[in-house]
Amino acid sequence: MRLLSYFRGEAFQRGVHPPQCKLTARTKIRRLPFPPRVIVPLSQHIGKPPRPIVRVGEEVVRGQPIAKADDWLSVPHHAPVTGVVEFIGLRPGMRGPWVESIVIRAHPGATQEDLWGQPRDLSNASAQDLLQAIWDTGMVGLGGAAFPTHAKLTVPSQAKVHTLVVNGCECEPYLTCDHRVMVEQADDLVEGIRYAMRATGAQRAIVGIEDNKPDAADAIRAALARRGPLPEGEIHAELVPTKYPQGSEKMLIMALFGVEIPAGGLPVSLGMVVNNVGTLAALGQLLPRGRGLTERVVTITGPGVARPGDYIVPLGTPLRFILDYAGAPEAQAKEVILGGPMMGQAAASLDVPVTKGISGVVVLRGEDIALGADRKIYPCIKCAECVESCPMGLNPSMLGMLAAKREYDLMGEQYHLGECFECGCCSYVCPSNIPLVQQFRVAKQILREKAAAAKSS
Amino acid sequence: MTIEIRSAPHIKAPRSVPTIMRHVVWSLVPVCAFFVYQYGLSALASLLVVTASCLATERLFVRTGTQAGDIGDFSAVITGLLLALSLPPAFPLWMGAVAGFVAIALGKALTGGIGFNVFNPALVGRAFAQAAFPQAIATYSPSFLPGRFTEFVPSSLAWPLMQPADLMPWLKERQLDALAAATPLAKWKFEGVLAGAEELLTSLSGHMAVGPSPLLILLCGSYLAFRRFLDWRIPAAILGSAGLTAWLLFALSPERFPNPFFMLFSGGLILGAVYMATDMATSPVTPKGMWLYGALIGLLTVIIRYYSGLPEGVMYAILLANAATPLIEKVTQPTPFGKSALARLGQAKRGASYPLHPGYISREEAHAVTPKKRFLRNKPKPEGRRKPEKSS
């Protein structure tokens, strides 16, 4: 009840409570078999795509680097399977257009053991060496944004980081991969947090977990108790009230510290760095073994899946293979979402591979999306539901009316369109069924193009 | 095999425009039922005729394509019921039908239908009736007349385009004085008679000519507010500001002005505050704007009631505030996250779980403890938290 929210301590203002649908919160992480063929797109992250360093016909072993980062804001890729490079060229991408990819045919008889990396001791490594080691793993933010982790952990020279915020909120409905990672890989997570604290110089780390998964916090506290005192500093696991979009770093920092990150600023301006639990758990696994990122935990779920669960999926596995294995009859699948249902992207085809930034595959049947899809679109009745749900404090009702009139400049200048991070709360609650977020995405793209044109001329 | 590409979000909250409108109609049912119980057959006929007229007009304009929305969204039903509740129960039926037509045609269809109306359609219809039929709209029939379920008040059945017959002889026949046919507000304004509290609140006693029961309206309105089908801020602001203004004037000269309680519960203030001013399309969307809008309505109502020649001021106050809504919205835009004064100064809000800077938690301080948590429910267990290490 919103009436009561004024009297109750709330994590952040506004936001929504979509049905959680966490079907797989109690099932253990399982391993998906290796597909006969993997497709590794070169651009899986924010930044420049890396350059392939293998030729067609070359034999690769699992974990071997196959693409090299030329630019600082770029990461290398490693072969997800032992096999032969079959093709380097265009393959279907998750956004629709075909993208440059490396296709590797797996050896049917290979054991698929990760033989490439050398175990190493990083206990005395400097921050610089640690960042280089993190870069070499090809790690990006596994929560969905896919921002290169070494860049995120690099502290600008004028700033000083005192706190590492570890984001274990996982506020999207259906997704449970971060939840299961926290429960089952708590020791790796603590290791990863320690590396990240040393790389950034943070004196404390706080794992923010939504209170719908107290078992994750218990698992982390138990792992911390097993470790005893750490030389890096304090690590706390903290429960925050469940609410969408808590997983946004601005909202999580608001919930933990009660402070707003200034508009246009980054958490580092307040001395904080935010990282996802999946990313740090993977770092904790990979860094001491000297390996690269070749697989990740993906939640395969939705009403259209017979055997939903959290699976360890080799990167580059095509969706068709995953859905066959998890038991999603193709005739039933009406929409396949990469990521969560609030912010995820609908897959354009089932030949699209799993990439580093995909945290979930949600399969919806026709009857599940009928609620939103076949509903009539009414004019805005100014019910103020969107204003009451926008976590950024915008006025989506007004923005939507301006977008319909193509007043994009006005939206950007007076109604703070740039602050919108497309969480989808306004579209979710809109009783008139107006596709507000879609309109804002178009408007933002047009404004970006205008700004780029103005810059170049 | 086909998969569809849609834009995020891929799930939707179940609430839709017809759901909202349907709930408002349901919440009006008890109010209407009590209205009929009070005034009998005439009130029932008035409710039915006005609503039917609104629906027919809506259908005409939807069919001809001048208007968005459709007849199934129940918004015209709300307009009709509210209009009928705000008219005298024995209002001539043909006049009610005309008012219903004007409400939808001028109040809604003219500007583009649902969502686009500038003024509350029911109040547009009532303002028209006030201007066109001043005699009929000022004539209330008393409530709880004997035989109200078997015969119409004669004014209801006036021939179309004819003025209703004078009610006086009909009332005399029933041994009622002329005062019974005036509302408490009119009585106070023109005769200086103040009605008692219990009569105003429940409208149960005597042959008072009061409208629908304020207590019942408040009850139904709080159900809507609780389910969040209307915004509680608007009625709260209206009643708060009207009560405050009335109380100030009452404190200044108690002999000239009635007490604030009479102000709040007489006439159509409660109906207007709960059901008319909260019309979504014509009220501001911003929270601050809602307070301002409500305060404006309350203030205007009291001023019109006390200083103008009219006994009732709620209708004009709401219509004026409707006109001011776009302006109110413009000056009360919400402050975006990260642009508030606190954010600019880098200050933390009160009551966070952790202070921004970890100085107190440094490894040097042996007795450092984490601060009191804000989220008490899932407090960390003491054994999970370690004592800070003494390193220096």
> Going residue by residue through chain A (457 aa), what tens digit of pLDDT does each one get?
344 444 445 667 788 888 888 888 888 999 999 999 999 999 888 888 999 999 999 999 998 999 999 888 999 999 999 999 999 999 988 888 899 999 999 988 888 787 787 888 888 888 888 999 999 998 998 887 889 999 999 888 888 888 899 999 888 999 999 999 999 999 999 999 999 999 998 888 999 998 889 899 999 999 988 888 888 788 888 888 888 888 888 888 888 888 888 888 888 888 889 999 999 999 999 988 888 999 999 999 988 888 899 999 999 999 999 988 888 776 677 788 898 889 988 888 888 999 998 999 999 887 776 666 667 888 899 988 999 999 998 999 999 999 988 888 888 888 889 889 899 999 999 998 888 999 999 999 999 999 999 988 7
> Residues of B with CB below 8 A from A246's CB?
none
Question: CB-based contacts of B207: which residues, under 8 Å, 6+ apart?
Answer: B142, B143, B144, B145, B176, B180
> With an 8 Å Cβ cutoff, are A217 and B380 in contact?
yes
Cα(A46)–Cα(B40) distance, rounded to whole angstroms?
A: 71
Query: Between residues 72 and 101 of chain A, which touch chain B (CB distance below 8 Å)?
Result: 96
Geometric angle at alpha carbon A97, from A92 and A100, rounded to 5°: 60
> With an 8 Å Cβ cutoff, are A271 and B357 in contact?
yes
Residues A256, A138 share a domain: yes
Q: State the nearest Cα–Cα gap between B280 and chain A, in angstroms.
A: 5
Residues A336, A394 share a domain: no
CATH number for the domain including A167?
3.40.50.11540
**Domain's final residue, options A289, A307, A322:** A289
B10, part of any domain:
no
> With an 8 Å Cβ cutoff, are A257 and B355 in contact?
yes
Residues A307, A252 share a domain: no
Instruction: Domain of residue B161: give its range.
Output: 16-139+141-181
Residues A329, A255 share a domain: no
Residues A299, A161 share a domain: no
Query: Between residues 100 and 159 of chain B, which touch chain A (CB distance below 8 Å)?
Result: 112-116
> Residues of A with CB below 8 A from B352's CB?
256-259
B248, part of any domain:
no
Residues A159, A235 share a domain: yes
Residues A176, A278 share a domain: yes
> With an 8 Å Cβ cutoff, are A371 and B14 in contact?
yes
Residues A202, A256 share a domain: yes
Residues A306, A173 share a domain: no
B117, part of any domain:
yes
> With an 8 Å Cβ cutoff, are A264 and B334 in contact?
no
Query: Between residues 205 and 224 of chain A, which touch chain B (CB distance below 8 Å)?
Result: 206, 211, 214, 217-218, 221-222, 224
Decide if B163 touches A, using CB distance below 8 A: no
Cα(A359)–Cα(A376) distance, rounded to whole angstroms?
A: 32
Instruction: Domain of residue A326: give its range.
Output: 37-105+294-369
- Which among A333, A383, A428 has CB closest to B12? A428
Residues A363, A315 share a domain: yes
For residue A396, say if its preceding peptide bond is cis, omega within 30 degrees of 0: no
Number of domains comprising chain A: 3
B216, part of any domain:
no
Using the structure block, give the residue that is written with the tokens 């007229």.
B53
- What is the interface pTM, i.e. ipTM, of the complex? 0.86
A422 touches A371 (CB < 8 A): no
Residues A242, A150 share a domain: yes
Chain A interface, best mutation among B10, B360, B367, B390, by max A CB count within 10 A: B10
A112, part of any domain:
no
B333, part of any domain:
no
Residues A318, A275 share a domain: no
Number of domains comprising chain B: 1
**Domain's final residue, options A247, A263, A289:** A289
- The one-character DSSP state at A259 is B
> With an 8 Å Cβ cutoff, are A375 and B12 in contact?
yes
> With an 8 Å Cβ cutoff, are A2 and B285 in contact?
no
**Domain's final residue, options A289, A323, A351:** A289
CATH number for the domain including A96?
3.10.20.600
B161, part of any domain:
yes
Geometric angle at alpha carbon B381, from A17 and A283, rounded to 5°: 70
Return the axis-axis angle of helices A277-289 and A127-136, rounded to nearest 10°.
100
- Which among A254, A335, A441 has CB closest to B10? A335
Query: Between residues 407 and 426 of chain A, which touch chain B (CB distance below 8 Å)?
Result: 414-416, 419, 422, 424
